[in-house]
Chain A
Amino acid sequence: MEKLSGASMIVRSLIDEGVSHIFGYPGGSVLDIYDALHKIAGVEHILVRHEQAAVHMADGYARATGKVGVVLVTSGPGATNAITGIATAYMDSIPMVVLSGQVPSSLIGNDAFQECDMIGISRPVVKHSFLVKNPAEIPEIVKKAFYIASTGRPGPVVIDLPKDCLNPELLHDYVYPESVKMRSYNPTTTGHKGQIRRGLQALLAAKKPVLYVGGGAIISECDKQILSLAEQLNIPVISTLMGLGAFPGSHKQSLGMLGMHGTYEANTAMHNCDLIFGIGVRFDDRTTNNVEKYCPNATILHIDIDPASISKTVRVDIPIVGSAENILDSMLELLAESKTSNDTEALEQWWQDINQWREKKCLEFDRNSGRIKPQQVIETLHKLTNGDAYVASDVGQHQMFAALYYSFDKPRRWINSGGLGTMGFGLPAAMGVKMAFPDETVVCVTGDGSIQMNIQELSTALQYDTPVKIINLNNRFLGMVKQWQDMIYSGRHSHSYMDSVPNFAKIAEAYGHVGMTISDPAELETKLAEALAMKDRLVFVDISVDETEHVYPMLIRGGAMNEMWLSKTEKS
């Protein structure tokens, strides 16, 4: 039998698991693993400039590919720096394995140098974690970690590795397990047949149904099934922020995104529908507004692989636990056998209502202001990339503009921190995507606030030749904070103004990239096209946008789904 040290077993286990990229940063506790990485070929390590960015990079990689993202950090500060990234992945159910160094077992609990209780500090934001006690267990623990991270409702798994378990002098038998079984972990995948039948009956009986798709639909890769069901039954499709791309945004049955900044037609259709068919959604507070007033006439049918997501915030009438892909396949089979269809006349009437709401044209904006409007930047970006780019975003107004104005036709193209809302996510996530798909156009839509939270990764991007395009919607404000201050705090801009915004183009140049500044609306399209044409260079496009612009629609706090601001002066 092959004999390997703990450190070598880590590297070999990753290779045998099929891992191609690891994102990390070395330090005392993991030097044995780094030495093994140096000796054993087969996996590419990306050296970041900050551990948080390593986790976001692995996260972007995982969101775009559907594979497990892998991170390697050292003990203490390496581990704590990773926490925000892990929490980001946890909130959005992203499959990830984080290997963290730990002080030697004999020093654990002694407040040793660079010691931190990683298992403890990460516990609320991981799906599971392992502390290695015996190096012989490493292959099995790695296998279990990948299995847990990628099955059921995916999530991050931490493996904490005390330094003595990595000792290159001590060799152990190495066999990487083919599969793993755990008596306490068996996620349900196939849905209950009776519930699926009931669900379909309810769907066919509905006169004003909506399909409501979320991040779970992306994870379970059921976009074809959603398309088929929606088209066969002529049902409108509404998406959460996390679900964008699960149904083509340009499809005539798409009403776009719902929620806090959802479209007028999506939010109004939700409020007036008689049946919500939620697929991989979790009815979180940003998508329901006041739950007491939520969709008063709707029967709720809900597919989710996580039973805890069902009836957590909103009471569900017909729950179906399992993988959305399996359940929709069964439902489509039943539909094919079914002798009844839905009430096409009622659906016609429903579409008439919806088309009236669409007439509001809630996404219109002033095109003749003489200023560059953020909406216009995203529209132009969409046009120039044929709606086919991978768009990673940071968090704030620019994120909502990207979600609303870049119509995503394919799943896994929209990469954003929806749950935790982590500023600083965009650039490293875009880089992770670009590393997975070097030939694709990858854009990071960001703002002057967010980009500065992980701007150091421009250095990593140079080292690994990662030519993403950074579109900075620079309004010299923390735009979303300012919008709330405008609307809720009588315009008191407490600490939302960035009066020392740097020259971003020069920063990009200092890091060895191309910097570009746009402030004239007439130049927007040509300069943006020029930036996108530089396929092999990272281009930082700093665009000076109108700082007075707000994101609309915006749900009115405490109201129902159909109560929203449509502009600074108009309410629904």
Chain B
Amino acid sequence: MRRIISVLLENQPGALSRVVGLFSQRGYNIESLTVAPTEDTTLSRLNITVLADESILEQIEKQLHKLIDILKVANITEAAHIERELALVKVKAIGDIREEVKRTADIFRGQIVDVTSCLYTIQMAGPSEKIDAFINALAEVTKVIEVSRSGVVGLSRGEKSMKA
């Protein structure tokens, strides 16, 4: 099953490599990973998307907890949560296709953020599946030149929060 594990990490040199190393060392696969400082600049927040069953997930959470630099670990997918991913998609846009690409972007509420005479770069935010669907839809009408995705960020809904 796909899960998102959110982690609060001391913003120390080498701290991220301990997290990434743990995954490769113990044979857990990372689907996506985001890292950025939080409102408290001494802390970074990671969102790690993994495919894992219950027992592996339990081990991942416990092993992450053992890392000295980690303050908090939470599986935000176990309850209501919000998740978003940002993608920038560069596509070929010439002739009749130019208008069709624009329409497709509008339908998915994407924004064209860069234009040349034969290219569009479209920005798109949303759950990962929506971005998958968008890229697939574009691929049907034109040539997708390049895709850059941010990986998933997430938060629990409602009162629940992850604080140091």
B-contacting residues of A (Cβ < 8 Å)?
Answer: 119-120, 123-124, 127-129, 131, 133, 148, 182-185, 306-308, 310-312
Known contacts A120-B17, A124-B21; A308/B68 CB under 8 A? no
Residue of B nearest to A123 (CB): B21
Q: Are A184 and B14 neighbours in the complex by a CB distance under 8 Å? A: no
Q: Are B14 and A129 neighbours in the complex by a CB distance under 8 Å? A: yes
Is B164 part of the contact surface with A, judged by Cβ < 8 Å? yes
Question: In the complex, which of the residues B55, B62, B71 contacts A307, with contact meaning CB atoms closer than 8 Å?
Answer: B62
Q: How large is the interface on B (under 10, 10 to 19, 20 to 34, 35 or more residues)?
A: 10 to 19
* CA A307 to CA B73, docked complex, whole Å: 14
Q: Are B63 and A308 neighbours in the complex by a CB distance under 8 Å? A: yes
* CA A308 to CA B14, docked complex, whole Å: 22
Is B2 part of the contact surface with A, judged by Cβ < 8 Å? no
Could you tell me which residues of chain B, from 49 to 104, have a CB within 8 Å of some CB in chain A?
Answer: 55, 58-59, 62-63, 65-66, 68-71
Contacts of A182 in B (CB 8 A): 68
* CA A495 to CA B66, docked complex, whole Å: 41
Question: In the complex, which of the residues A124, A133, A310, A312 contacts B25, with contact meaning CB atoms closer than 8 Å?
Answer: A124
Can you identify 12 A-B contacts, CB atoms within 8 angstroms? A123-B14, A123-B17, A123-B21, A131-B13, A133-B13, A182-B68, A184-B69, A184-B71, A306-B66, A307-B62, A307-B65, A308-B66
* CA A30 to CA B17, docked complex, whole Å: 26
Residue of A nearest to B68 (CB): A128
Q: Mark B14-30, 1 if CB is under 8 A from A, else 0.
A: 10011001000100000
Question: Helix, strand, loop or mixed for chain B's interface?
Answer: helix
Contacts of A312 in B (CB 8 A): 59
Contacts of B18 in A (CB 8 A): 123
* CA A182 to CA B68, docked complex, whole Å: 9
Question: In the complex, which of the residues B14, B59, B66 contacts A119, with contact meaning CB atoms closer than 8 Å?
Answer: B14
Contacts of A123 in B (CB 8 A): 14, 17-18, 21
Contacts of B62 in A (CB 8 A): 307-308, 310
Residue of B nearest to A148 (CB): B68
* CA A306 to CA B65, docked complex, whole Å: 10
Q: Mark B101-130, 1 if CB is under 8 A from A, else 0.
A: 000000000000000000000000000000
| Shortest distance between the CB of B21 and any CB in chain A (Å) | 5
Could you tell me which residues of chain B, from 1 to 49, have a CB within 8 Å of some CB in chain A?
Answer: 10, 13-14, 17-18, 21, 25
* CA A166 to CA B113, docked complex, whole Å: 52
| Shortest distance between the CB of A282 and any CB in chain B (Å) | 13
Contacts of B59 in A (CB 8 A): 308, 312
Q: A120-B17, A182-B68, A307-B62 are in contact. List 9 more A-B contacts (CB 8 A).
A: A123-B21, A124-B21, A127-B68, A131-B14, A183-B164, A184-B70, A184-B71, A308-B59, A308-B66
Residue of B nearest to A144 (CB): B68
| Shortest distance between the CB of A285 and any CB in chain B (Å) | 15
* CA A253 to CA B62, docked complex, whole Å: 35
Could you tell me which residues of chain B, from 126 to 164, have a CB within 8 Å of some CB in chain A?
Answer: 164
Contacts of A185 in B (CB 8 A): 68
Contacts of A184 in B (CB 8 A): 10, 68-71
* CA A128 to CA B10, docked complex, whole Å: 13
Residue of B nearest to A185 (CB): B68
